Structure 1
């Protein structure tokens, strides 16, 4: 999932795949400590068994927990930060062999820097997350024309805990997705197919409404290979920036068929976070793995 040569080396790479699983849960503080090599897709079930859930996740859950916080991996939601903002404690192994336990109250300066560190401070071995009581999400997806999407964008973002959309070139429409928390004791509503589900490419983004455990709703299937770059910018500049990217693709890169993803993030105080000190919008552009991407990404 990582598209930058952050870990490229002629020396040794250390795998954390052996550091897996849940270590401890504190029900009083709604916190859970996990080994940093635990994959995100393996976090939800054990948390759920203890009545807990992550506050937010991205749309891919193949990454390790340590890698996700090291790079500021995020989902969407104007009141929610990236995954690193859910972290309240870390155990860090430095290059000298020193094992540092840090949190908001213990070694706070190291902790803040380590929340998003790109691996520069050492190896994160354990992560403590502040969780929410277990909850379900209801997912609704639909298609709107570009003008309609942009006109209602602020309203959708304000009214929805998790809102995002893809602008789909060619069709020039937006595939919208809204996730709303529901009470965990309620039964999922019957899955009623939409009367007119889109066909062709749009069918990838739009499906019948569904309700399930949050960790099952957040991720999306990604079975095609692609290259991606993402830009984080002040939230107020997001709509105009997207319009410029759309114009660029419609005039100079009409052959690029991959969609543009638009998400929101709350401000945080983590030094290397893309949302440091500001409400943020992220705009992600993509290209098929077997096609040139450098000129397109550079122009964006």
Structure 2
């Protein structure tokens, strides 16, 4: 199926493009045909999942390929504890499909609208010092290279290509199938509480060690921060949660926050007051649910986001410096800052390559100026060896990125082999790779 001439926007609306042709292929063979045609004609091609990246990673004014018709489970190997899925499968759907088979992913992020291919390709992560990014769960992939060749690989069959593909920013080919390592379905007990930020920072070593999944949100200009902890449990699923969750997640955290955000956009000087109000009203709750249903949070209020990976031990120092800078510069921001932990890995372009990591994400309500705020926060992250999340806003280009990733040059060699004509590169990726 093909559609043409329609404007495309990402989730926040900050990225827009008008592709000449948009394809919705229904098979691997069709994808290979599209790639081969683009190569013959010298056209550029990009792939889009859910459009949830804030960078222009998926933008194309030429050919755009959507994987929305390639969703679902291909096969399950119960003995090996693995599943092969179509790359366009959305994480929310995947969680339910796996649960029906008695399985689950070992960890997930707090958004479940992304496609599995988009999530792993950008280094998407959850939180927990014993868990890597979602890409660390991958044990096999099938990809259509920029040459049109279909390649299936594992770490055993193609060790270097596999390490490059796990987080590839969609630059090596169109991933069409993914094999994931699974575990049996499990339940999590979720608890949230409010504590002063100074107490939270003092207790970070204890909090991240004692809880399977730990993260916290702190609010500019406010002292309270919200702690979120999740741990495995055999307790029964919490009964009669639908109405309470709707009030907390939709009414309080989205409808009310959306109204306050709209007010703040109109009257930016209210930002500190709104931030303090939100901190004081942060949800304190406890519930038990199946893992795939509890990781994700409802996000109806749209925003733009920058997120950086830093060494795990730098979390408290970075936050203190951020707090001082926000207070000094008096930024008009009311969105909380999200702070998480991720185990280090050996994936070439993973921001967590070679180090246990902290991730810090800053947000700005859509339509409010974010550039100077993000730039000052980025300078702090970079002083601590920061690496940007590939799906979030950043200003780095090839010269700076090449010094942050030890395997950068080797990744470039693989990229040249997989896409010798550069048909998979758009303007954003050419800046990233210096091509």
TM-score with structure 1 length normalisation?
0.94
Report 1:207-218 matches (<5 A).
207-218=284-295
2:93 and 2:216 mapped to 1: Cα distance? 26
Decide whether the 8 Å contact of 2:237 with 2:290 is kept in 1.
no
Give the match for residue 39 of structure 1: 90
1:17 and 1:132 mapped to 2: Cα distance? 26
1:252 and 1:202 mapped to 2: Cα distance? 20
Aligned residues: 295
1:180 and 1:210 mapped to 2: Cα distance? 11
Give the match for residue 197 of structure 2: 146
Give the match for residue 237 of structure 2: 188
**Higher helix fraction: Structure 1 or Structure 2?**
2
Give the match for residue 10 of structure 1: 61
The alignment partner of 1:298 has SS state of helix
Match of residue 287, structure 1, among 354, 358, 364: 364
**1:168 aligned to 2:219?**
yes
Match of residue 83, structure 1, among 131, 134, 151: 134
Report 1:40-79 matches (<5 A).
40-79=91-130
1:148 and 1:58 mapped to 2: Cα distance? 25
Q: CA RMSD in A?
A: 1.9
Quote how far apart the aligned CAs of 1:115 are: 0.2
Decide whether the 8 Å contact of 1:191 with 1:208 is kept in 2.
no
Give the match for residue 297 of structure 1: 374
Decide whether the 8 Å contact of 1:253 with 1:296 is kept in 2.
no
2:308 and 2:376 mapped to 1: Cα distance? 12
Q: Deviations over 1:129-179 (max 9, x none)?
A: 001110011100000001111111110000011000000123322101000
Q: Compared with structure 1, are the counterparts of its residues 210 and 231 closer, same or farther at alpha carbon in structure 2 (3 Å cutoff)?
A: same
**1:229 aligned to 2:306?**
yes
What are structure 2's unaligned runs of at least 5 residues? 1-51, 254-276, 378-435
Between 251-260 and 272-281, the greater mean CA deviation after superposition = 251-260
1:34 and 1:207 mapped to 2: Cα distance? 36
The alignment partner of 1:73 has SS state of coil
Quote how far apart the aligned CAs of 1:75 are: 0.4
The alignment partner of 1:244 has SS state of helix
2:93 and 2:134 mapped to 1: Cα distance? 15
Runs of 4+ in 1 over 6 A off after TM superposition: none
Q: Deviations over 1:36-69 (max 9, x none)?
A: 0000011111111111100111100110000001
Decide whether the 8 Å contact of 1:22 with 1:33 is kept in 2.
yes
TM-score with structure 2 length normalisation?
0.65
**1:275 aligned to 2:324?**
no
**Higher strand fraction: Structure 1 or Structure 2?**
1
Bigger Cα Rg: 2
The alignment partner of 2:296 has SS state of coil
What are structure 1's unaligned runs of at least 5 residues? none
